[in-house]
Structure 1
């Protein structure tokens, strides 16, 4: 009888089985030895946050995960409260009390898709997985008269704190694709060395996004709305493809296919204003 009770207790202590919609190639990515995996984002798409959630989901089935997000560090308590909310709807409402509910935040980092991704993290936590959200964007840390390079260094410090705080956890970073580079980019000299390049090289693995066309939500002088992207990568490719990219600036590629624009969560009940701008 004691053996049966012990076995029952062990079973109830295990995280619930979770279905993960992870990109093809996620298993190979998670088999890497690096503790910091950097996944890029374009801000304002449906597909990229969904892919990141799938990767986090698979990683959480293997062990503790710290989710490092390009969001204000001042949201840390709010995110902790969201993860500990009693229901999915309660978690969503907690998140909407932060930047997700602020209509002025419309650059894509607070989109409907991003809110759904955050609720997905709540589901993982509710299922018993060891996941923690670590927003790393410093507030009021810009140095007057200095260029973007200082901001990249600040971001790298914020990311590194995630590993310092939870050394037993794998850190999955979700950040703009330029910040995910390990090398400088001649097109943006003021960036200097991007954030990922400041991290410990042997413990950091970064992906680039395959530009396969589609749309993302963004703002320009003409207004905010879906912006088209001119695809340059095989539109039929899907999943994570490992191998050096752009002379080692990245360690692999994430291909999600042509993207769909996701509007800000705070404006999801309002009509979109289509912008005439486009990005390449």
Structure 2
């Protein structure tokens, strides 16, 4: 009993360490008992969103077991598992550097320095909290002629639901592009996003609102740091649970003006 209490005390101390989490205003609104999926819809290629997502995961651990779902190809799962289990940070970095496919090779903002930093933080959290799960949920299957992007979205939703069923006691935190995170059909694209396929009452979907700054992405003939618009109050910060985008999102995550994060592998 004493050993168990000591272990619990050490676990609690790790979660309470000042360096463990950077508090995000308003985050307590996400931890309702009936919410299974907390979805963060981002513009890929910023420094701030992956860091804030790691802080959300860090805070969620204090509420119960957590599954982290990342918009990586499901074929990356064995590499992610090896990365998380590596004995040292250099070994983890080497495992990722050796992987020949995915966003760290074909750059779209999901293979950025900031994403690598986030993965390293998740790895550190998993060493403190062994029941933390990290899953890749983007489908590997190529698009079939005559089947629209909505079928890929359906596959994404199915993979998220499958991961949830495998760990039914876990709250799932999802980091995904903001198109996939919307809660209703996008009429202009005739697209049914992934989140629409999840049980509506179990989801909180947040939009990382543009507040100016830059993101690393590819546009036209060049890839690099490109400006983002300022469509939301640049002074706002934190989680604001209030319908946004005519009901496309349950709320927003306001991080302020962003900075572009370059590819981890140039």
Q: TM-score of the superposition, structure 1-length normalised?
A: 0.87
1:158, distance to aligned residue in structure 2 (A): 1.2
14, 17, 20: which one aligns with 1:16: 14
2:226 & 2:189 partners in 1: Cα distance?
Answer: 21
2:7 & 2:28 partners in 1: Cα distance?
Answer: 30
Aligned residue-pair number = 263
Contact 1:22–1:53 (Cα < 8 Å) also in 2: no
Tell me which moved more, 91-100 or 163-172: 91-100
Name the structure 1 match of 2:72.
71
Name the structure 2 match of 1:62.
63
Q: TM-score of the superposition, structure 2-length normalised?
A: 0.91
Secondary structure at 2:86 match in 1? coil
Name the structure 2 match of 1:263.
262
Larger Rg: 1
2:104 & 2:3 partners in 1: Cα distance?
Answer: 52
Summarize the Cα distance change of 1:145–1:255 in structure 2 as closer, same or farther, 3 Å threshold: same
Contact 1:101–1:265 (Cα < 8 Å) also in 2: no
Q: How does 1:32-51 map to 2 (within 5 A)?
A: 33-51=34-52
**Cα displacement string for residues 103-124 of structure 1 (whole angstroms, at most 9, x for unaligned residues):** 6421100000000000000110
1:104 & 1:82 partners in 2: Cα distance?
Answer: 16
Tell me which moved more, 26-35 or 249-258: 26-35
Name the structure 2 match of 1:196.
195
1:249, distance to aligned residue in structure 2 (A): 1.5
Contact 1:67–1:131 (Cα < 8 Å) also in 2: yes
1:5 & 1:143 partners in 2: Cα distance?
Answer: 56
Contact 2:24–2:56 (Cα < 8 Å) also in 1: yes
Name the structure 1 match of 2:212.
213
What is the Cα-based RMSD across aligned positions, in Å? 2.1
1:253 & 1:239 partners in 2: Cα distance?
Answer: 8
